[in-house]
Structure 1
Amino acid sequence: MDKSKRQQNEQTVKTARYHPDYQTGLSHAMVESRFAEGAVNQTVDSDFKTNRQIIIDNTFTYFNLIFLVLAVLLVVVDSFKNLTFLPVVIANTVIGIVQEIHAKKVLNNLSVMNAATVTTIRNGEEKTTPFEELVLDDIVILKTDDQIPADAVVVKGQVQVNESLLTGESDEITKKENDDLLSGSFIVAGKCYARLDKVGNDAYISKLTLKAKAMGHDEQSKMIKSLNKLIKWVGIIIIPVGLILFFQNILLNHESLENSVISMEAALIGMIPEGLYLLTTIALALSATRLARRQVMLHDMKSVETLARVNVLCLDKTGTITENEMAVQKVIPAAGYQEKGQVVPIETLIGDFAAAMPGDNATMKAIKHYFTKTSGRQAQSKVPFSSVQKFSGVSFADQTYVLGAPEMVLRAKFDSYQPEFINYTQKGYRVLVFGEYPKELLKPVLTAEVRPLGYILIANPVRKEARKTFAYFEKQGVALKVISGDNPLTVSHVATEAGIAAADRYIDASRLTPEQYPAAVKNYTIFGRVRPEQKKQFIQLLKKQGSTVAMTGDGVNDILAMKEADCSIAMASGNSAAMQASQVVLLDSDFSKMPEVVFEGRRVVNNIERSAGLFLVKNIFSLLMAVLAMLLTVSYPLQPTQITLISAFTIGLPSFLLALEDNRKRIRGNFIINILSRSIPGGITDLLVVGALVICGIILDLHKADVSTAATMLLIAVGFMVLFKISQPLNKFRVGVIAASFVCTVVAALLFNNLFSLTAISPISILLLIILFFAADSVFRYLTKAVERAREALLQRSGQEHHLSFKEIWQYLKKKKA
């Protein structure tokens, strides 16, 4: 945008504009007025909720409302003993609030610790200011390696800017006075004073981030989606079931109001998975805090579960496979240097050159670090590096040297010298030619022939942990796709060095037509010359092909593709907008942390699946038992306080303890199918044995208290059968969990038998209890084997082990039946 257009845009802005002197900057009063106007460089709001939102979301839930209504009804009928479920509900709510606030605090602290800063001029003084405290028309000092915090205009000085994080192009662009600077780009050389022209949501970087966040606002993991569906259906069912049970007891069974309320509430409390959602929330929050301690920040706590299911990982070369900083690998003497019979080592000549040049860009920093030996010569003149001419030069008393890109330095004789270094460029090195110039160099223009003395090989070294990290993903069946803007042959060599499987299957994406994209993303591993818009298309195609895709990125040009992926991972060394828009941020930019993130995701999903199996046993039984009670026109056989006893020590305590255990097993199948396969055998076993007990109680005219107590004992017995089954294979920790739960159950039953409505039972009831216990053991074993066989057969025959949904299962079963 030119100066006249920018001035026109400024006139449309309601906020009065300042044009302060670059040496003075804004006054304190001007800064305060900007804050009052809201013209501040606030970053796009985080996805995290405020403390007030957390308290409201955890307190005012649908099921808490149901529990409140049930509590009021019990108080109305003076059945205070059956309010034992209320402390559990309150504890669940408080624990959920405290844990979520704690996780938010840890992650927010990480965000503050890693906040970027820039030097500002205010009231004539230099000051270090966080990006989020910058205001419109602030004067900032930008120098080498600084990231531009907001859209700005150069008011003094000259810099070279790398806009690759915005455009995907690595060219360095010279910016002079009145030139625009785009937020998110980097200063690679020089120094300037700039006036912030657009801040906050008006800046280019924020617009892209807002767009990306809008795309991903409703993203949820499969586990959370499944739980929401489950809870939604339970919430729909319990109201009509409760009303039917209540009026049946009043009108058909002629029960008292108190007994009708107690019976109805026992069924409803048993049907509500009150601890399941809390368990999931706490498990995810604990994972987020554990990862935070390892310098991994989650913008979305649910993303850890998504990443654990990923089977295709798309990554860039620089910053992921290689280090971010370039390093000199070696120097190759040119044929001209050897023919001339130089006495001074070439390393010393380059050392003299490097000592005379400022280390104001990444390349020169790498050269200065490598070539430290000098002869002590003093430079008479020097020409700094130009992004246009792509070379720099230094003149000494006896000789002039130039350093730059071969195609620019060697010019007309490039083809004749190319065989000396072409094999190195094909291996992925960046080659710079160091040559001798026949006269003093005063301007960045070469008018005579340069004699090459040597070729400096520069590369981003492959990360030390890369080979081990990629070997882990290969072992876990995760396909790797390297998507880069670099030469595909170069990327292939680097990927091969890093140990990426099938790195020899590379393709130049610039030569592909859109029709060829689907076959390419399926068959190739390495993609070079990839344009920013192609990245998003490649991710979409991989998802259409049935893959769960994660993508790493560090630039604004990566954002939309990252948000298209199922899970996005950003490096903290990259652009701040990419960090904000991603779900996972590696704060130390160490990609070797990825296996730890995957392990954490597996711990969460596997442990929640296992614990959810315990919760659903009670829910399945309560629903089926309520239906049976309606069919037999009998009262529900249990009381709310007995349901509390069963829930506390056969479900609640062991599930929370087991959720803390390390678990690195691969995730298989659909979340709901997995938990139903664990819970259906126990739920149906409960129904059969308790249903048999109720029918026997009617036939033998057993006292209601006998049936209620015996049913409680049967449910506790089956609960421990289920607990024992899902704890396989046993270890010391799991045996300890089972033992602790058993001891707590026995102690509660003996010491608080009146509280839990447990009474002495008749000899006939004891005999029935023994018979039904052994029957329950046999039925549970048979049902467990049958359900496991059905699940495995369905997974194997469908061929969609990782992406099975209810709809797909139903279609598969209809097809098989046909």
Structure 2
Amino acid sequence: MIKNKQSLGGVQGLNQEEVKERIKNCQVNTAVQAPTKTIGEIVRSNSLTYFNFVFLFLATLLFLVHAYKDMSFLPLIFINSLIGILQELRAKQILDKLSVLNTPKIKVMREGREQEIWTHRLVLDDIIILEAGAQIPADAVVVSGEILVNEALLTGESDEIKKAEDSELMSGSFVVSGKCYAKLTRVGAESYISQLTLKAKAIKTTEQSEILKSLNNFVRLAGILIIPIGLLMFGQQYLIHATPIKMSIQAMIAAIVGMIPEGLFLLSSVTLALSAVRLAQKKVLVHDMHCIETLARVDVLCVDKTGTITNDKMSVSGIYEMTGSEVKNDLDLDFWRTMMAEEADNDTMKALKNFAEERSVKGTKFEKNSVQQIIGFSSKHKYSGVQFKDKTFLIGAPEFVLKDDLKKYEKTIQKFTKQGYRVLIFGEVVSKKDVELLASGERDISPIKPINIVLLMNEIRESAKRTFNYFAEQGVEVKVISGDNAETVSIVAEKAGIKNAKKFVDLSNLSEGCDFEKIVLENTVFGRVKPEEKRKMVKILQKAGHTVAMTGDGVNDILALKDADCSVAMASGSQAASQVAQLVLLDSDFSRMPQIVDEGRRVVNNLERSGSLFLVKNVFSFIVALLSIGFGFMYPLLPTQVSLVTMFTIGVPSFFLAQIPNKDLIRGNFMINILKKAIPAALTNVIIVLALINLRLWLGLTREQLGMLCVLGWEVVGITYLARICMPYDNIWKKLIVSGCTFGMLFCMIFLQSLFSVHINLSMIEWVIFGAILIITVPLMMTIENMSRWLYRNVMIKILKNKIIDKLPEIE
């Protein structure tokens, strides 16, 4: 044990030589795993994919039959992988820089001086200083001082445990109140912190977002189907119809390439990475990229009063007698010395202590020796206090310190709460039994003798009303969950423009047999909420079918943050809350929330739009491949031709469309929405291609002519569909995308004919057929859309949702 530890000021800590020795012996509090992917992991995840191996195998087959030109899809696959690698590397670089800004720091004593260092630079036997809100970075033992610790992250129990000298502290738990010096006993991999930090920073990693879950299931299905379909197509053409091996392989590969949705998954990953970068530039740190999508789907937002509706800084508005008359001159001596003795370990106590210092009693000197015990603030019991040699005083919430005596002063207190003030009661503990209970660490005591009413106030943020109006317009219900008086919070919430703010309830007054679920669903403002109740409220809202976002900045928010669908923390709050949250507002500005929601909507809506482009190709290729097997005709397109069409109707436009601002409300299931958009265009393409195959037999067209007409038909359908999904043209980029892709395709058709196996030297009959395709494409697509819309409403949605999508196996 450390010497000279009789007082907090007597701790010396390690010297530089001792620190160097422990670093040399690898006794450093280093995390066992980085919070982001390494460069190698990024390269591997984008390169060594199942479909890349499929493409490599197909390229090998083409190489063996000397069909080198048909390997044109390889550069596109390489470019796709390269884009994914570069975008993830860029995102990693920016997010890692911002992570440094949010890396937990801790106060440490070294060579008798107080320093602040990053937690991963701590070494064994370091003496750290722990205060309210700090997460304990490694296993330790208390050297001097006293704190209340919540070990909920370890045990799941939210009870506050008193830790005095020689008490053990577990890493991952957090300090609720008090102050102490603690010596680190286990650091790095030997402590619990690595596992706890990973759990906190990767909440619900086993649960995927709706987009990724849908894409994973679709990719898995496609990956399974391409193998038997490819083998059947090759076997039919080569073995049954005696088609030359080169042509059989070319037809099979063209169909398989069309069925592989390789770019769709890549597009979603890159889009989410770019979204995280854009948010980082707005001072929003993203721990989990998939929460961007989740936040866009949120329909209930749970917020606290302090830090979201009001500013963090709190001030004392006045001190009053219990009769309601203001104390304008010198403060009561007992009040003054109690505030001077209290630890400024939370915002409320800092405000009270500053006020006491400004209104100090003239000619009176505070004697520290008169203090026997400081009773730290408890979020469960809502009070703190000081035991002097002669008297004991408490200050806290009226309901918790006055208890049954609250009725005597209810009118006076309500007069202040209705004005939006936060009210505290200062008083004396007169019962000897209660004094003894407090000295032993017990908190359940009888009512105190009230002396003063203390009024505190947080100013409403200038941006609060605008922010909450935005959420009201977007159909997001706001729930205010606070530890303060319910009526006070209700008045503040109403001033901030929160809808239904008058529907408030004080949870400390609820009876045991009440319908808590009904209370949560029907009310807007909740006062005197305990940490475990916040967590319970989140679960009730989720059970009712809501997607819940939780904002918080304090240690009492951690349990609810972990359970919410999307969690947002203020960087100015506790370290533990920032680590648990999926999003961290680095400038602690709640007005950033609408920008984050808009970013999420941009991601989801644009991925739906871009994703439908990919599914047009996949559905079309799948249907034509099955018909080819069933009716014995050869797949009409070559791999090079498929590459040309997909480049300008899918690849290029999908990437740019995914980046265009889109604030539309999100409706429905992601995969069903994509299929609803894609199937009409895919069926239009199928009908045109089948018609061309039949015309070939009737008009005696060559296979080369059929292939060229199918390319032209697909191009017309592809550009038409692209033009339709870009509507309305409220953005110059949409016009540029459509015109640019049309120009790019025409350029390749004219100047790169040999590379893509196309030509424009059409016969008269071919031009007539092409003209007919131009005329019928839009009416045919619209007819199929109307028919499919009726089928979706009456049949397909139920089948897709209940029989297929929900029962697809998930990828771990």
Note whether the superposition's TM-score is higher than 0.5. yes
In structure 2, which of residues 221, 245, 249 is the aligned counterpart of residue 261 of structure 1? 249
The letter of the residue matching 2:655 is F
Aligned pairs for 1:22-421 within 5 A: 23-26=11-14, 31=19, 34=22, 40-42=28-30, 45=33, 48-122=36-110, 127-142=115-130, 148-156=136-144, 158=145, 177-179=165-167, 185-186=174-175, 192-199=180-187, 216-331=204-319, 360-361=344-345, 362-363=347-348, 365-367=350-352, 377-382=362-367, 386-387=374-375, 420-421=412-413
Report the counterpart of residue 468 of structure 2 in structure 1: 470
Separation in structure 2 between the aligned mates of residue 512 and residue 807 of structure 1, nearest angstrom: 41
Measure how far apart 1:266 and its partner are: 0.8
Q: Which amino acid aligns with 1:584?
A: L
Cα offset for 1:72? 0.7
> Which residue number corresponds to residue 779 of structure 1?
780
**1:748 Cα deviation after fit:** 0.9
In structure 1, how many angstroms separate the alpha carbons of the residues matched to 2:489 and 2:233?
Answer: 68
Determine the C-alpha separation between the residues in 2 that align with 1:430 and 1:789: 57
Q: Is the 8 A contact 2:203 2:580 kept in 1?
A: no
Give the Å deviation of 1:770: 1.8
| Equivalent position amino acid for 2:605 in 1 | N
Write the deviation string for residues 368-408 of structure 1: whole angstroms up to 9, x where unpaired: 766897799443345679437956799xxxxx9x9956989
Check if 1:572 corresponds to 2:568: no
Q: Indicate the residue corresponding to 2:478 in structure 1.
A: 480
Secondary structure of 1:196 counterpart: strand
Count of residues paired in the alignment:
766
- Give the Cα separation in 2 of the matches to 1:208 and 1:215: 11
TM superposition shift of 1:131: 1.1
**Offset of 1:297 from its aligned partner?**
1.4
Higher mean alpha-carbon deviation, 751-760 vs 483-492, is at 483-492
Query: 1:579-658 to 2 correspondence within 5 Å?
Result: 579-658=578-657
Offset at 1:665?
A: 0.3
Equivalence for 1:801: none
CA contact (8 A) 1:148 1:187 kept: no
CA contact (8 A) 2:287 2:581 kept: yes
Gaps of 5+ in 1: 1-17, 395-399, 437-443, 799-803, 812-818
Q: State the match for 1:710 in structure 2.
A: 709
C-alpha distance 674-405 of structure 1, shift in aligned 2 (>3 A):
closer
Give 1:806's aligned residue.
801
Corresponding residue of 2:504: 506
**Alignment check: 8 A CA contact 1:607 1:658 kept:** yes
The residue matched to 1:118 in structure 2 has which SS? strand
Aligned equivalents of 2:34, 2:427: Cα separation in 1 = 52
- Displacement of 1:749 in angstroms is 0.7
Q: Secondary structure at the match of 1:319?
A: coil
1:95-153 CA-to-partner distances (Å, cap 9, x unmatched) read: 10111122122112111122232333345665432112223321124568866544543
- Please show how residues 454-465 of structure 1 align to structure 2 within 5 Å: 455-465=453-463
- For 2:751, give the aligned amino acid: L
**Is 1:667 aligned to residue 666 of structure 2?**
yes
Amino acid at match of 1:663: N
* Contact persistence 2:422–2:484 (CA under 8 A): no
Q: Deviations over 1:621-642 (max 9, x none)?
A: 1111112222231111111111
Q: For the aligned residues, what is the CA RMSD?
A: 4.2
- The answer on 1:735 being equivalent to 2:745 is no
* Structure 1 pair 81–31 and aligned structure 2 pair: CA distance change class (3 A): same
Distance 1:514 1:623 in 2: 59
Partners of 1:37 and 1:664 in 2: CA distance: 54
Q: Distance in 1 between matches of 2:590 and 2:499?
A: 17
Q: For the residues of structure 1 that align with 2:665 and 2:324, how far apart are their CA atoms?
A: 59
1:63 shift after superposition: 0.6
Encode CA deviations 1:333-357: one digit per residue, 9 max, x unaligned: 776978xxx9x85699999999988
Give distance in 1, aligned partners of 2:375 and 2:52: 64
Change (3 A) 1:202 1:20: farther
8 A contact 1:252–1:633 mirrored in 2:
no
For 2:465, give the aligned amino acid: R
**Residue type at the aligned position of 2:801:** F
Shift, 1:242, TM fit: 0.9
- CA shift, 1:555, in A, is 4.5
SS in 2 for 1:387: strand
CA offset digits 1:777-806 (Å, max 9, x no partner): 2211211233345556789x99xxxxx971
Can you give the 5+ residue segments of structure 2 that lack an aligned partner in the other structure?
6-10, 377-382, 429-437, 440-447, 807-812
**Which residue in 2 is equivalent to 1:723?**
722
Give the SS at the match of 2:459. Answer: coil
Once the two structures are superposed, residues 192-245 of structure 1 have per-residue CA deviations (whole angstroms, 9 ceiling, x without a partner) of: 532124545776777765666787121211011111111111111111111111
Larger deviation, residues 313-322 vs 200-209: 200-209
Task: Give the counterpart letter for 1:758 in structure 2.
Answer: V
Measured after TM superposition, the shift of residue 529 of structure 1 is 3.8
CA distance in 2 between partners of 1:143 and 1:377 (Å): 31
Contact 1:405–1:433 under 8 Å retained in 2: yes
Work out the CA distance in 1 between the residues paired with 2:513 and 2:123.
Answer: 43
Other-structure match for 1:562: 561
Shift of 1:425: 4.6
The residue type equivalent to 1:250 in the other structure is Y
Cα distance in structure 2, aligned partners of 1:545 and 1:406: 32
Partner of 1:816: none
Residue 424 (1) aligns with residue 416 (2): yes
Closer/same/farther in 2, CA of residues 672 and 431 from structure 1, 3 Å limit: closer
| Conserved 8 A contact 1:356-1:378 | no
Aligned counterparts of 1:419 and 1:737: Cα–Cα separation in 2? 67
User: Which position in structure 2 is the counterpart of 1:440?
Assistant: none
Using the size of structure 2 for normalisation, the TM-score is 0.83
Change (3 A) 1:252 1:171: closer
Q: Is the 8 A contact 1:322 1:462 kept in 2?
A: yes
Q: Give the letter for the 1:97 counterpart.
A: I
Contact 1:263 1:639 in 2 (8 A): yes
Paired with 2:579 and 2:201, the residues of 1 have a C-alpha distance of 9
Q: Is the 8 A contact 1:160 1:172 kept in 2?
A: no
* Structure 1 residue 459 displacement after superposition: 3.0
TM-aligned CA distance change 1:20 to 1:60, over 3 Å? farther
Percent identity (aligned) = 41
> How far apart, in 2, do the equivalents of 1:146 and 1:86 lie?
53
> TM-score of the superposition, structure 1-length normalised?
0.82
Asked if the contact 1:539/1:565 (under 8 Å) is kept, the reply is yes
The whole-number CA distance in structure 2 between the counterparts of 1:59 and 1:688 is: 36
Quote how far apart the aligned CAs of 1:710 are. 1.1
Q: Which residue does 2:380 correspond to in 1?
A: none
Quick one: distance in 2 between partners of 1:533 and 1:741? 55
Q: What is the CA–CA distance in structure 1 between the aligned matches of 2:640 and 2:207, rounded to whole Å?
A: 39
Matches of 2:136 and 2:239, distance apart in 1: 75
Distance 1:488 1:434, change over 3 A: closer
Q: Which residue of 2 aligns with 1:15?
A: none
- Cα 1:603–1:337 change in 2 (3 A) is closer
- Residue 495 of structure 1 corresponds to 493
Question: Does the residue aligned with 1:739 lie in a helix, a strand or coil?
Answer: helix
- 209-218 vs 717-726, which moves further: 209-218
Report how far residue 366 of structure 1 moved. 2.5
